Structure 1
Amino acid sequence: MSEHYDHVVIGGGVMGLAAAWQLAARGRSVVLLERFAPGHTRGASHGATRNMNNAYDDALYLDLYDEALGLWNELAETSGERLLTLCGLVTHGDQAVVTAAHDALAARGAATELIDAEAAAARWPGMRFSGRVLVNRDAGRIHSATALEVFAAEARRLGADLRFEHRVTAIAAAADGVVVTGVAADGEPFRIEAGGAVVAAGAWSRELLRDLVALPALRVTEEHPAHFTPQPSLREPGAEAWWPSFNHVRTAPSAGPSVGAVYGMLTPGEGVKVGFHAVGDEVDPDARRFRAPDLARAALREYVAEWFPGLDPDTAAEISCTYTSTESGRFVLDRVGPITVAAGFSGHGFKFAPAIGRVLADAALGVAFPPEPFRLAAH
């Protein structure tokens, strides 16, 4: 026997939850189906912190950032939970990238400045810097685990039905929408009919959409940032509060063959997260190692030893997550018939989640298509 909803959302990571929240807020009946338990570690949305990073020179992302910042603050006020800590963001390294981001932000009147490496090291003595340093004050970190809980709670409060441990096995187009079938944790099959589906399935996007949507190439990699313990001199009460979030955009001559851009932020109670961006091995999301290769571990340790005098490089507490990346790094946001697609967030999507939830709801309801550069034809 089928159940009937206006919309079915497939995927209960941050993007699926944001879409369910937005659709429910517009009075639609919504069911969300997530293959794993809440807070699981199999995808890309788990963990306590993410960068709230506005170091972009592209107006598309900066517009999305400004919208997301406003929505994060609204969610925090509505829920009573702290979702952001705007402790600042520092970006250094490739001077062309740093300058372009600064100029784009300054043109918008953003709270930003450029300082030299010596001044930055004096301000943040636990870090080393290369070249001029971009400082953004309307940036910092997201309390990402709390954010997932708030999206879920708000979606439920607005009437959405969130079902975890419900694995979707097939999506089929129907005359008046879609039919979604699968199996619940207790082995019981389910069948749901809906006017449309939002598919935000991360590393499993291609598997679910294979016969329905012509996706661009999506590369699924396993990434391994780690938390590092501050040195004793930076463990005094209140000392951790000064850690900004950071980006190090390494230029080709200084970056080793397995080392790309570097990012990170403080995770209170866990240390400072440091990670190489998008350098992991390509994987089957159902057959991961959940462990970095020894060479990658050694490279991260060496990087921390060189660039973070305020961290103990021998204290790495490794994390494992997936990136699902497009060749360009741009997201895939589009609607094809009754199916709205959200995929390929390429390791930099979380901060935009509330705004992306709005974009997906607009597309699913036929209010507006997503911005052209995110649509399938642009990839």
Structure 2
Amino acid sequence: MRADAVEVAVVGGGAMGLATAWELTRRGMRPTVFERFSRGHHEGASHGATRNFNNAYDQEHYLDLLVRAREGWDRLGVVDGEPLLRLHGLITHGAVQLSSIARRLTDRGIHAEMMSAADAASRWIGMRFDGDVLFSRDAGVARASSALIEWERRIVESGGSVHWETPVLGIEETDAGVELTLPDSVVRADVAVMTVGAWSERMLPSIGLPRLTVTEESPAHFSPTGPAQWPSFNHYTDPERYPATVYGMPTPGEGVKVGFHRVGEEVDPDARPHRSAHADALTDYVREWMPGLEPASAVPVSCTYTSTDDGTFVLDRRGRLVVGAGFSGHGFKFAPGIGAVLADLALDPSARAAEPFRLPSPAGR
């Protein structure tokens, strides 16, 4: 079996792996990405045309990451005549401390505006509100599938490479670096970045990851009933009426995506049933809160979440392995910032992510 050497190996070619590899190229490196599935596959969490660029956070570590992500999205700029970040605004409403979020955003120079339910309903006629609404025009939608294509293009243009349908069968840390076993070769690298989503625990059983739960989630696209302006949105619903917070965004050509956050059944990522859960509850929600959508028009979407218990990301380094995991259904918007953090960790063994993102300390330390 032949042995090859690469500068930095990135295992996992979804959003986080490609964003990391792109960031590494910006620092003069030539990373090599290995992805077990084909380009554009639907087996993980990165496919689909849109992701909510939701900035409604009030925790400093997420706001720091959001700022870094926005810098990355802006640096990517215009692709196919349109920015990869479509800033049509975000509204947040329901049972959440809107004033705290608004204050934290304003402190960062990010637009945040409180509105009454009546003013919001007159502006967004396709939606219904029963309390105050937080609006930020500095949010909207990330063009997810277009971003993946652009990251790959820039990686290759800068001398890196992306290998599709190339599973990594094993990974071993050695005194000299890291060895990756592929079907027909061994690859040696000084450091390996692991961004393998639902397969994180299987590929990194001894790195000390917190518990990760893999679920299959089932948002759906609904057809508008007429002309209306659609923002992205978060709705913190009554838990006695609906199973979870609702999120959504317009997806041109497909309708308006609406979904419950993190309510899916736990699944084996290699044997997903690809079935829709809570479909009736989602239809009921649209019927009650979205008068501008046709409730019977749902076209389900299947994706996975890989979640930590509290939804906090894992961004850390142990030895020569860097890990990004547990993005818990709210990671994509942060991808350029996450890529920058993981690149920091890969190139500087003394670098550290924000404390909440770090792996639990090994026993005895």
Instruction: Report the AA paired with residue 215 of structure 1.
Output: L
Match of 1:337 among 316, 319, 331: 319
Deviation at 1:124, TM superposition (A): 0.4
Provide the rounded CA distance (Å) in 2 between the counterparts of 1:347 and 1:378. 25
Tell me the secondary structure at the aligned position of residue 284 of structure 2. Answer: helix
For the residue of structure 2 that corresponds to 1:314, the secondary structure is helix
Number of aligned residues: 360
Question: What is the CA distance between 1:69 and its match in structure 2?
Answer: 1.2
CA RMSD of the aligned region, Å? 1.5
Distance 1:80 1:336, change over 3 A: farther
Q: CA deviation at 1:254?
A: 3.9
Equivalent-residue separation in structure 1 for 2:79 and 2:240 (angstroms):
48
Residue aligning to 1:285 = 269
Q: CA deviation at 1:191?
A: 1.1
Partner of 1:252: 239
Question: In structure 2, what is the Cα distance between the partners aligned to 1:179 and 1:156?
Answer: 23
Provide, for residues 45-71 of structure 1, a one-character-per-residue CA deviation record: whole Å limited to 9, x for no partner: 000001111001112111211221121
Task: Indicate yes or no: 2:362 matched with 1:368.
Answer: no
- Aligned residue in 1 for 2:120: 120
1:87 aligns with 2:69: no
Deviation string for 1:6-25 (max 9, x for gaps)? 21100000000011111122
Q: Distance in 2 between matches of 1:378 and 1:320?
A: 35
State the alpha-carbon separation in 2 of the partners of residues 226 and 134 from structure 1: 24
Structure 1 CA distance for aligned equivalents of residues 88 and 361 of structure 2: 35
* 3-state SS of paired residue (1:175): coil
In structure 2, C-alpha distance between the alignment counterparts of 1:378 and 1:136, rounded to whole Å: 37
- The alpha-carbon deviation at position 169 of structure 1 amounts to 1.0
Query: What is the CA deviation profile of residues 173-206 of structure 1, one whole-angstrom value per residue up to 9, with x for unaligned ones?
Result: 11111000122xxxxx221000010000000111
- What amino acid does structure 1 have at the position aligned with 2:258? V
Structure-2 residue corresponding to 1:201 = 196
Pairing 1:97-176 to 2, within 5 Å after superposition? 98-176=98-176
Instruction: Specify the SS of the correspondent of 1:266.
Output: strand
Q: CA deviation at 1:79?
A: 8.3
**1:99 CA drift (Å):** 2.2
In structure 2, which of residues 232, 245, 259 is the aligned counterpart of residue 261 of structure 1? 245
Contact 1:95 1:132 (8 Å CA) reproduced: no
Could you say what secondary structure the match of 1:352 adopts?
A: helix
Kindly, what percent of the aligned residue pairs are identical? 51
In structure 2, relative to structure 1, the CA distance for the partners of 1:223 and 1:78 (3 Å cut) is closer
Contact 2:210 2:360 in 1 (8 A): no
- Report SS of the residue matched to 1:60: helix
Q: Distance in 2 between matches of 1:300 and 1:82?
A: 31
CA contact (8 A) 1:79 1:150 kept: no
Q: Hey, what's the Cα distance between the residues in 2 that align with 1:154 and 1:206? A: 30
Distance 1:99 1:153, change over 3 A: same
Structure 2: unaligned runs, 5 residues or longer: none
